């Protein structure tokens, strides 16, 4: 996950006849804007953008530091500082977006228009043009983040567990009842979030409507260089391409779980109980690989065990991921990265352990924040997070307005693209394994990858499907939980293991919902990473099957990747996409190409079984 502070600014009215903005009231500001708007020119827009960029940089640094401190030292005081910074940023961003909107009918250059649009769309949770409501929205965001970060559950045996503790149990336990207790226990933290989320949604909608959008969901969907409705259709098209592969995987996994737990607990004509898939949110299924692994597919190594055998601690794991990027020709991370990042969970305080990458000064102060566990899965996550950091540094010379990924899916995809190269070939090159398994072991490796990647795709789609319906009013507060599980059954074929109270708020148990982080980016990333990987493999001269390819040490691939990364968001994402893939349209067939041997195997295994949900 990227945690790139949304840089926003006070709405300086650097227009033809003004030298400063009158911020005493929204009405006065709007009256001034209305008076000067007819006289605005491209020259005025240029002056406005130049002056504003300075404010963006200053506010970005201030806000990022406040948020970093809060995430690493969760106290009432740091929460207040974070809320104040968020309020200042949000108020500034809304006013600034309103000022940028005064140039909507002015003839400006394509670059100026893109900068102005970036200001209008930069806020994830826009506040209404009202100081009291803005303060309320900022406070709600801080409170929701604190509730999640400090959430714990006390077991029936009286032991208090953190989310990390419960996540570990979900990953390793095969005790049906223990898994159920962990699953239910974590969801006790979220009901109290519900009224705050309801109010946050109301205020966010009001802010989005003030910027001219139908609702907050429409505003989020408008940030993809295409009409909002077209973006929703594009996601449906991509999901349609991948769904047959997911259906084959779901059918096979459900059958195997039925053998493990009994068909009375895993009915073969029903959705899979959500607590049995090895993950607190059933969003990825890699932790149950041992239960569904193909026969004789053991590659002969376990990355977690190999990390331990080779004395990898948390720092060495990060150094290893850094080496992948430097092998492609990227410069090493700055010394400040190692001095300022958080790699392990402190024993003396609460922190937000959710892995994230940070860019604090839009230059070189890049960091990660993780409570690293020494596992093969975390080794991949580190590659992912560093992908954000190397992307951030690649576009640092772009104007502030364009210091972002081509679309938010790109940011998530880059690190995962690198992680796709963490193949047996790569592991042998870095000395973690001695021999590369032959192709007879590929089905097992592809199964393990599919349990992570393919299993995630419908979850990546449905989280925002739910939120978009909340913001549009289609889903009302009394139906939050019911609608959540209806969508999960529809897209994932996954169901709550026990009846859920209508007043429960299970969406709040997923970080990105109380965190206010749009989720479609993760869906896009899971499509894009396979296209990027395929393209980079071709550039590197790879002759292996795509699932066996590693671009490690390919300077040619690194050069092509950097060319795209340096563009930031200066061009429509379609242009950046074409730089690497040769096409301006996403195509999920690269996913199918990668997993083609596995899908043939799944179809054979599923013969005679009752599939579907």
Q: By C-alpha distance, which of 85, 7, 3 is closest to 354? A: 3
Q: Which of 250, 388, 526, 533 is catalytic?
A: 388
Q: Which two tokens stand for residue 106?
A: 């002015």
β-strands 356-359, 366-369 pairing: antiparallel
Q: Which of 206, 322, 412, 531 is catalytic?
A: 412
Element of type H or E holding 606: none
Taking the C-alpha atoms of residue 289 and residue 108, their distance in angstroms, rounded to an integer, is 55
Residue 385: active-site member: yes
The alpha carbon of residue 168 and the mean position of all alpha carbons in its chain are separated, in whole angstroms, by 21
Collapsing DSSP states into helix, strand and coil, what is residue 160?
strand
DSSP 410: H
Residue 250: active-site member: no
Residue 289: active-site member: no
Taking the C-alpha atoms of residue 105 and residue 41, their distance in angstroms, rounded to an integer, is 10
Burial of 397 (0-12, 13-18, 19+ CB in 10 A): exposed
Residue 533: active-site member: no
Q: By C-alpha distance, which of 587, 590, 584, 533 is closest to 225? A: 584
Taking the C-alpha atoms of residue 432 and residue 309, their distance in angstroms, rounded to an integer, is 9
Asked if 352 contacts 74 with a C-beta cutoff of 8 angstroms, the reply is yes
Length of the chain in terms of residues written: 613
- CA distances from residue 412 to 396, 404, 551 in whole angstroms, order as listed: 18, 12, 18
Where are the strands (E) in 335-485, listed by range? 356-359, 366-369
Q: Which of 51, 80, 293, 355 is catalytic?
A: 355
Q: By C-alpha distance, which of 410, 340, 176 is closest to 273? A: 176
Which residue bears the tokens 């084959």? 248
Q: Which of 55, 213, 250, 354 is catalytic?
A: 354
CA count, 13 A, side-chain hemisphere, 59: 23
Q: Which of 148, 519, 522, 594 is catalytic?
A: 522
Q: By C-alpha distance, which of 483, 461, 459 is closest to 470? A: 483
Which residue bears the tokens 């305080």? 349
Q: Which two tokens stand for residue 601?
A: 């195997």
The alpha carbon of residue 594 and the mean position of all alpha carbons in its chain are separated, in whole angstroms, by 22
**How would you write 488-523 as a 3-class SS string?**
HHHHHCEECCCCCCCCCCHHHHCCCCCCCCCCHHHH
Collapsing DSSP states into helix, strand and coil, what is residue 3?
strand
- CA distances from residue 471 to 34, 125, 275, 341, 601 in whole angstroms, order as listed: 29, 12, 28, 35, 42
Residue 547: active-site member: no
Residue 354: active-site member: yes
Residue 388: active-site member: yes
Q: Which of 250, 384, 411, 547 is catalytic?
A: 384
196-201 long-range contacts (CB < 8 A, ≥24 apart) are 196/140, 196/143, 196/144, 197/144, 197/505, 197/507, 197/508, 197/513, 197/514, 198/477, 199/136, 199/140, 200/125, 200/137, 200/140, 200/141, 200/144, 200/516, 201/470, 201/471
Q: Which of 512, 526, 533, 547 is catalytic?
A: 512
Q: Which of 206, 385, 452, 531 is catalytic?
A: 385
Collapsing DSSP states into helix, strand and coil, what is residue 374?
coil
- CA distances from residue 541 to 234, 416, 544 in whole angstroms, order as listed: 31, 20, 9
Task: Please count the helices (runs of H) and the strands (runs of E) in the chain.
Answer: 24, 7
Which sequence positions are flagged as catalytic?
354-355, 384-385, 388, 412, 512, 522
């Amino acid at each position: 996950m990227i945690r790139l502070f949304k840089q926003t600014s006070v709405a300086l009215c650097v227009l033809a006849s003004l030298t400063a903005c009158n911020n005493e009231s929204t009405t006065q500001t709007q009256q001034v804007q209305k008076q000067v708007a007819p006289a605005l020119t491209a020259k005025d827009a240029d002056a406005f953008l130049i002056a504003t960029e300075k404010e963006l940089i200053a506010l970005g640094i201030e806000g990022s530091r406040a948020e970093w401190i809060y995430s690493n030292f969760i106290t009432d005081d740091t929460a207040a500082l974070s809320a104040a910074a968020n309020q200042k940023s949000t108020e500034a961003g809304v006013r600034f977006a309103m000022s940028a909107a005064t140039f909507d009918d002015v003839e400006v250059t394509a670059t100026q228009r893109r900068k102005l649009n970036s200001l209008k769309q930069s806020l994830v949770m826009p506040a209404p043009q009202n100081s009291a409501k803005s303060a309320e929205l900022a406070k709600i965001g801080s409170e929701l983040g604190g509730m999640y970060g400090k959430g714990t559950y006390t077991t029936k045996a009286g032991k208090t567990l953190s989310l990390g503790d419960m996540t570990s149990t979900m990953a390793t336990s095969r005790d049906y009842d223990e898994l159920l207790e962990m699953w239910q226990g974590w969801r006790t933290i979220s009901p109290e979030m519900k009224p705050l989320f309801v109010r946050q949604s109301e205020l966010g909608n009001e802010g989005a409507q003030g910027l001219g959008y139908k609702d907050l969901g429409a505003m989020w969907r408008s940030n993809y260089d295409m009409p909002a409705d077209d973006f929703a259709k594009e996601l449906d098209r991509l999901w349609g391409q991948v769904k047959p592969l997911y259906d084959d995987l779901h059918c096979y996994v459900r059958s195997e779980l039925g053998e493990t737990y009994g068909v009375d607990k895993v009915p073969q004509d029903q959705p899979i109980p959500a607590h049995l898939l090895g993950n607190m949110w059933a969003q990825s299924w890699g932790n149950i690989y041992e239960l569904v692994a193909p026969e004789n597919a053991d590659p002969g190594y376990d990355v977690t065990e190999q990390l331990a055998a080779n004395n990898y601690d948390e720092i060495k794991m990060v150094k290893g991921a850094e080496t992948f990027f430097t092998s492609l020709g990227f410069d090493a991370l700055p010394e400040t990265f190692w001095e300022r990042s958080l790699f392990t969970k402190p024993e003396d305080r609460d922190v937000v352990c959710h892995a994230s990458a940070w860019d604090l000064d839009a230059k070189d102060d890049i960091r990660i924040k993780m409570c690293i566990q020494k596992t093969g899965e975390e080794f991949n996550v580190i590659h992912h997070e560093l992908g954000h950091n190397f992307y951030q540094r690649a576009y640092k010379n772009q104007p502030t307005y364009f210091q972002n990924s081509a679309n938010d899916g790109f940011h998530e995809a880059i690190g995962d693209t690198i992680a796709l190269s963490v193949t047996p070939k790569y592991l042998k090159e870095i000395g973690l394994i001695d021999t590369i398994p032959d192709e007879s072991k590929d089905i097992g490796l592809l199964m393990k990858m599919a349990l992570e990647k393919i299993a995630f795709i419908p979850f990546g789609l449905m989280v925002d499907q739910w939120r978009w319906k909340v913001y549009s009013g289609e889903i009302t507060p009394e139906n939050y939980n019911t609608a959540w599980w209806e969508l999960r059954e529809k897209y994932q074929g996954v169901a709550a293991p026990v009846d859920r109270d209508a007043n429960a708020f299970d969406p709040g148990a997923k970080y990105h919902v109380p965190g206010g982080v749009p989720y479609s980016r993760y869906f896009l990333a899971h499509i894009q990473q396979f296209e990027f990987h395929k393209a980079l493999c071709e550039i590197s001269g790879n002759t292996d099957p795509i699932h066996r390819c590693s671009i490690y040490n390919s300077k040619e691939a690194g050069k092509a990747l950097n060319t795209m990364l340096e563009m930031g968001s200066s061009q429509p994402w379609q242009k950046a996409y074409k730089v690497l893939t040769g096409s301006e349209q996403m195509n999920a067939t690269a996913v199918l190409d990668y997993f083609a041997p596995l899908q043939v195997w799944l179809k054979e295994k599923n013969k005679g079984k009752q599939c579907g949900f």
